[in-house]
């Protein structure tokens, strides 16, 4: 059975408070007093205290800005410059997360499969080959990339890792999710751009998956997905010469709220669990309101959503890596024997992806 052995995380060194980001965005948007107060209120209700970014500008004096133009008449960097920033920071951040993941669990040379996930930058040769070269991995390495799938993409990575482990007993699969969302900040004020500016952040997570049950590993039991096509225009991610443009409608939480109970029951049934099986909840914190509505709709306790809220508070929404940050938090606290973890993330489509994990420590201890 495919096992999640270890998760390593990394975030850029620049850590900015929400208030510092708010001040810069108010300057960028050239807002009047009323709109400034409205944006300030939204930031205060975000459930986010700080976010990491490869952009140093937030918190610096205006004359020291390097990404944000100091003169409003000037434009933000174009897509070429944004991709250059991505290429400068992506691989080093991945390598940091990988080292944190593999330390004490697996040597670089033992990796047999590499899966990379990203939707905020791309090139060829890409992230997979750069990681392969930096770690001196085998030139015969199996590698593949998952691109442009958004916040639920890490679950697709786990799906592929499980397929590999199910067919290759000796597999050592390394899954790496990297997003630099903040390099796509936009100058023009709109509800979509304002929502993106108050939510998204940069980060990376790496996961080791193999067939070797360990004391603290989690068995991947199954996956289930559902596309709410009525919401396909409510969350979208498009490339433009100004960078990647996010469409993020206020209707998304309501779509999730209406479907989450049926989604949970279908996922449990598909993997052979009853409706009361879940002991740990790994919720992608796409936003505070989403976590609030899921907690209410599924009658969860504050402790059930504690890990999702903690990651949102400390890191914001980093897109694909975020749910792996939440899962790492759950694993670090310790998952009880025979516990069942339900994970769910959301993205363009509107796509809802789930996974179910089980702690099979008893199988190891009594073997």
Residue 234 has pLDDT above 60, yes or no: no
pLDDT interval class at 34 (50, 70, 90): very high
Residue 365 has pLDDT above 60, yes or no: no
pLDDT interval class at 367 (50, 70, 90): very low
Q: What percent of the chain has pLDDT over 90?
A: 73
pLDDT in tens, 82-140: 999 999 999 999 999 999 999 989 999 999 999 999 999 988 889 999 999 999 999 99
Say which residue the tokens 């442009």 belong to.
148
Q: Is the dihedral of CA 179, 184, 185, 191 positive or negative?
A: negative
Q: Is the model's pTM score more than 0.85?
A: yes
Mean pLDDT of the chain: 91
Cα 5 to Cα 19: distance, rounded to the nearest angstrom: 37
- Report the CATH architecture of 218-365: 3-Layer(aba) Sandwich (3.40)
Cα 39 to Cα 29: distance, rounded to the nearest angstrom: 10
Top-confidence range, 184-188, 288-292, 308-312, 361-365: 308-312
Q: What is the mean pLDDT of residues 180-191?
A: 90
Q: Residue 363: its pLDDT value, please?
A: 47
Phi, psi for residue 236 in degrees, rounded to 5:
-150, 160
Structure tokens, 131: 């990681």
Cα 142 to Cα 62: distance, rounded to the nearest angstrom: 46
CB 325 within 8 A of CB 135: no
CB 180 within 8 A of CB 120: yes
Q: What is the mean pLDDT of residues 234-262?
A: 73
Cα angle, residue 61 at apex, residues 60 and 64 outer, rounded to 5°: 80
Cα 38 to Cα 14: distance, rounded to the nearest angstrom: 26
Residue 57 DSSP code: -
Residue 255 has pLDDT above 90, yes or no: no
pLDDT interval class at 257 (50, 70, 90): confident
Residue 362 has pLDDT above 60, yes or no: no
Q: ω before 350 within 30° of 0 (cis)? A: yes
pLDDT in tens, 315-355: 999 999 999 999 999 999 988 888 999 999 998 878 899 99
Q: What is the mean pLDDT of residues 289-314?
A: 96
Structure tokens, 36: 């400034």
- What distances in angstroms separate CA 220 from CA 4, 29, 159, 247, 316, one per listed residue? 7, 45, 9, 32, 26
Top-confidence range, 248-257, 274-283, 356-365: 274-283
Structure tokens, 277: 């099986």
CB 132 within 8 A of CB 108: no
Q: Residue 72: its pLDDT value, please?
A: 81
Residue 366 has pLDDT above 50, yes or no: no
Q: Residue 223: its pLDDT value, please?
A: 98
Structure tokens, 296: 């209410």
Between residues 222 and 187, which one has the greater pLDDT? Answer: 222
Q: What is the mean pLDDT of residues 183-188?
A: 90
Domain covering 3-210 assigned CATH 1.10.275.10 in the classification: no
Q: Residue 228: its pLDDT value, please?
A: 80
Range list for CATH 3.40.47.10 in the chain: 3-210, 218-365
Percentages (nearest 5) of helix, strand, coil residues in the chain: 40, 25, 35
Structure tokens, 42: 């939204």
pLDDT interval class at 80 (50, 70, 90): very high
β-pairing, 113-118 vs 280-283, is unpaired
pLDDT interval class at 254 (50, 70, 90): confident
Which secondary structure element, helix H or strand E, spans residue 194, and what is its range? helix 191-199
Between residues 29 and 232, which one has the greater pLDDT? Answer: 29
Q: Residue 248: its pLDDT value, please?
A: 64
Q: What is the mean pLDDT of residues 245-249?
A: 66
Q: What is the mean pLDDT of residues 69-74?
A: 84
pLDDT interval class at 71 (50, 70, 90): confident
Q: Residue 241: its pLDDT value, please?
A: 78
Cα 354 to Cα 264: distance, rounded to the nearest angstrom: 8
Q: What is the mean pLDDT of residues 49-61?
A: 95
């Amino acid at each position: 059975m495919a096992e999640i052995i270890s998760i390593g995380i990394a975030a850029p060194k620049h850590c900015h408070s929400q208030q510092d980001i708010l001040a810069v965005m108010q300057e960028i948007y050239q807002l009047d007093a009323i709109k400034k107060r409205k944006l300030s209120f939204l930031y205060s209700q975000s459930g986010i205290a700080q976010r990491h970014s490869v952009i140093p500008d937030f918190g610096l004096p205006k004359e020291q800005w390097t990404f944000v133009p100091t003169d409003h008449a000037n434009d933000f960097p174009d897509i070429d410059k944004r991709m250059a920033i991505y290429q400068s920071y992506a691989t080093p951040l991945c390598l940091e997360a990988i080292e944190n993941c593999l330390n004490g669990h697996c040597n670089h040379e033992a990796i047999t499969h590499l899966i990379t996930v990203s939707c905020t930058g791309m090139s060829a040769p890409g992230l997979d080959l750069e990681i392969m070269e930096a770690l001196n991995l085998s030139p015969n390495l199996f590698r593949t990339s998952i691109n442009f799938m958004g916040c639920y993409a890490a679950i697709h990575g786990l799906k592929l890792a499980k397929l590999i482990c199910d067919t290759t007993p000796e597999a050592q699969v390394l899954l790496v999710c990297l997003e630099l969302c903040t390099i796509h900040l936009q100058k023009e004020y709109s509800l979509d751009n304002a929502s993106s500016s108050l939510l998204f952040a940069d980060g990376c997570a790496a996961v080791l998956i193999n067939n070797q049950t360990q004391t603290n590993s989690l068995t991947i039991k199954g996956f289930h997905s559902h596309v709410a096509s009525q919401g396909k225009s409510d969350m979208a991610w498009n490339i433009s010469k100004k960078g990647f443009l996010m469409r993020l409608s206020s209707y998304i939480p309501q779509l999730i709220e209406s479907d989450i109970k049926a989604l949970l029951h279908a996922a449990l049934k598909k993997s052979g669990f009853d409706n009361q099986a879940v002991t740990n909840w790994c919720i992608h914190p796409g936003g505070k309101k989403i976590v609030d509505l899921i907690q209410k709709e599924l009658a969860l306790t504050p402790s059930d959503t504690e890990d999702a809220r903690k990651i949102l508070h400390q890191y914001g929404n980093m897109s694909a890596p975020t749910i792996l940050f939440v899962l790492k938090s759950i694993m670090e606290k310790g998952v009880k024997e025979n516990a069942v973890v339900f994970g769910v993330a959301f993205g363009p489509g509107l796509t809802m992806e789930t996974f179910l994990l089980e702690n099979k420590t008893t199988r190891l201890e009594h073997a």
